[in-house]
Structure 1
Amino acid sequence: MKNTTIDINELTIKKFVESLRPEDKEIRKQLDIGYSYDGKVILLYEIRPFWNNPNEIQNNEFAKIRFYKSRREWNLYWMRASGKWEIYEPFPESSYLEKLTEIIKEDKHGCFFG
C-alpha cells in the first residue's frame, strides 16, 4: 500500500512558493521561483536562464529555513552577496513556518528580493 502521509510543512511552503511565482507562463521562462525540502531544511531559489546562454538554467538561492527539532523552532537565513548564509535579523526564529514565510514575502530589509 502506498504511503499517503501528508507533510503540513511542505504543503505550507508549496502554497507560499505558488504565491510568489509569476502568473504568466511566458514570464516563468525568464524568472520563476522554486524550492527544495528535505524534512528539516527548506531552500527557496530563483530559476532563470544564464544571461549569456539562455539555454542553460541556473538556480539562485535567496532564503533558507531550517527546523531545529531540539528547540522546536524554525530559523530563517538569507544569502549574502559573498554566497554565505546569514541568520535573518530581527526575527531569526519562530515556532511557526507561516510567520517566516510572511517575513520573506514582506522583505522589509531587501534581503530576499533586493
Structure 2
Amino acid sequence: MALSEFELKRVERAVSAFMDRRRPPEHIRAKLDFGYRIDGQSLELFEIRPWFVDPTKVMERPLAKGTYVKSRGRWKIYWQRADLKWHLYKPEPEVNSVEAFLAVVEADEFACFFG
C-alpha cells in the first residue's frame, strides 16, 4: 500500500530539507549528486555519479532506505551491504518519523550510509 497523500507530502518536505543540507555545491553536481525515490511505502536515498567506465552514462549507488510500517506508525531503517542486499540498520532499526530516519542517515555514526 502506498503512502497517503498527507504522508507523501510530509516525506517530500522532509527529504527536500535533507537534500538542501546534504547536496554538494551546484558546480560539483555533474560529478556527484544525491537523489531519492518513493516507491510504495519506501523512501530510497541514492548517490548519482558518472559511470567510471563511460562518463557519459550515469550510475546510482544506494545510500539508505526507509520503509514505513503503517500499522505501527514506524519507519524501518535499512542500509545496503557489499552483498547488494538491504539489511536492517542494527544500531537503530526503527524510528517514529521520516525526520528521525533522515537524522539517523545524516548522522551516519557507523559510516554505513555515506561511507
Could you tell me the TM-score, scaled by structure 2's length?
Answer: 0.88
Structure 2: distance between partners of 1:37 and 1:22: 21
5+ long unaligned stretches in structure 1: none
Q: Distance in 2 between matches of 1:17 and 1:50?
A: 22
Query: Among residues 18, 22, 26, which one is paired with 1:20 in the alignment?
Result: 22
Moved over 6 A (4+): none
Question: Which residue identity lines up with residue 21 of structure 2 in the other structure?
Answer: S
Deviations 1:44-96 (A, max 9, x none): 00000011211000111110000011111101100101100000022111112
Gaps of 5+ in 2: none
Task: Measure the CA separation in 2 of the matches of 1:89 and 1:17.
Answer: 24
Larger Rg: 1
- Aligned positions of 1:15-54 closer than 5 A: 15-23=17-25, 25-54=26-55
TM-score, length-scaled by structure 1: 0.89
SS of alignment partner, residue 56 of structure 2:
strand
Q: Residue type of the partner of 1:106?
A: A
Q: Residue type matched to 2:11 in 1?
A: N
Aligned to 1:86: 87
- Give the whole-Å Cα distance in 2 for the aligned partners of 1:87 and 1:17: 23
Contact 1:50 1:58 in 2 (8 A): yes
Quote the RMSD (CA, aligned, Å): 1.6
Aligned residues: 110
Q: CA deviation at 1:18?
A: 2.2
- SS for the counterpart of 1:54 is coil
Give, as a single letter, the amino acid of the residue that structure 2 aligns with 1:36: R
SS in 2 for 1:12: helix
